[in-house]
Structure 1
Amino acid sequence: MSRYQQASHVFWRCQYHIVWTPKYRFRILKDNVGKEVWRCIQVYSAQLGCEVVELNVQIDHVHLVIKVPPKISISKLMGALKGKIALKLFSKFPHLRKNKMWGNRFWQRGYFVDSVGINEDIIRRYVRHQEKMERQEQAELALD
């Protein structure tokens, strides 16, 4: 199987590592909220013709490695994901809207994005094991 995908007049392999956080980096992406974020990312990415390679929803941020067709810009992808997920969360979990600090916005304005090239395996492993590494760092800090 080729590492490249094909459309009518293009062969492509556009893969990105994206990280974004809830507003004020609230530790809100746990339990059912985190599961809904995970599910929404899978569904909305597929609707846009993107392929989720790795996904890790932490309690205060999201790591995503995704293949994006060249016809879709990263800003369009992130606008769609963050916008649709926020609307879904506010409707499914009305208690989230009650916090006045949200100001009708669930996510921080920005995000981190990097293209995945030669270091694909390293980045995928980092995303997959990010939670375990974070717990180890917190345990080490607690010992100091």
Structure 2
Amino acid sequence: METQLRKGAHAVFNIQFHIIFVTKYRKSVINEAILSKLREVFSRVCEKRKCELVEFNGEDDHVHLLVDAHPDNNISQLISFLKSASSRIIRKEFEIYLKQFYWKKEDPSFWTDAYCIVSTGGAPLEVVKEYIKAQQKPKM
């Protein structure tokens, strides 16, 4: 399988992240309707940030995203945009359902503060290291 590179004004890139968000207090609150809405929100946020939501799925207490990112993005800001937009919309649209799990009005979070992000890519790290080591030395 060949690596697909994206092009920007001054860059060619392939930046992909596997991101995991966990619900606040690890509550089992995600149902099919919430999962569907999350996909929609994450896709919209990614599009606005010049990213692409490549893959998305989840279970009742966490979700997995595979995001193809643009180099203009600051990773922590991208995470913040994804979490805040999704939390705000989910808490608003599913307010009645979520009241049975989250009752504190002063803490409107849907996600825990933590997250997991792992870079993904084509070649294994050892192959990339060997490729870099094998580059020809400049002639002096």
Scaled by the length of structure 1, the TM-score of the pair is 0.75
Q: 1:28/1:47 Cα in 2 relative to 1: closer, same or farther (>3 Å)?
A: same
The equivalent of 1:126 in structure 2 is none
Relative to 1, partners in 2 of residues 1:21 and 1:119: Cα closer, same or farther, differing over 3 Å? farther
- Tell me by how many angstroms 1:31 deviates: 2.5
TM-aligned CA deviation for residue 23 of structure 1? 0.3
SS at match of 1:111: strand
- Find the counterpart in structure 2 of residue 91 from structure 1: 92
Q: Which residue of 1 aligns with 2:120?
A: 116
Q: Residues 3 and 122 of structure 2 are in contact (CA less than 8 Å); yes or no, is this contact kept in structure 1?
A: no
Question: What percent identity do the matched residue pairs reach?
Answer: 25
Give the structure 1 partner of residue 110 of structure 2.
Answer: 106
Radius of gyration: which is bigger? 2
Rate the CA distance shift 1:47–1:119 in 2: closer, same or farther, 3 A.
same
Report the TM-score, using the length of structure 2 for normalisation.
Answer: 0.77
Aligned to 2:138: none
Write the letter of the residue equivalent to 2:109: R
Flag structure 2 segments of 5+ consecutive residues without an equivalent.
125-140
Q: How does 1:18-37 map to 2 (within 5 A)?
A: 18-37=19-38
Counterpart CA distance in 2 for 1:118 and 1:44 is 25
CA RMSD of aligned residues (A): 2.0
Q: How far off is 1:22 after superposition?
A: 0.7
Structure showing the higher strand proportion among its residues: 2
| Contact persistence 2:18–2:66 (CA under 8 A) | yes
**Whose helix proportion is higher, 1 or 2?**
1
Segments of structure 1 that go 5 or more residues without pairing to the other structure are 121-144
Which letter does structure 1 place at the counterpart of 2:78?
Answer: L
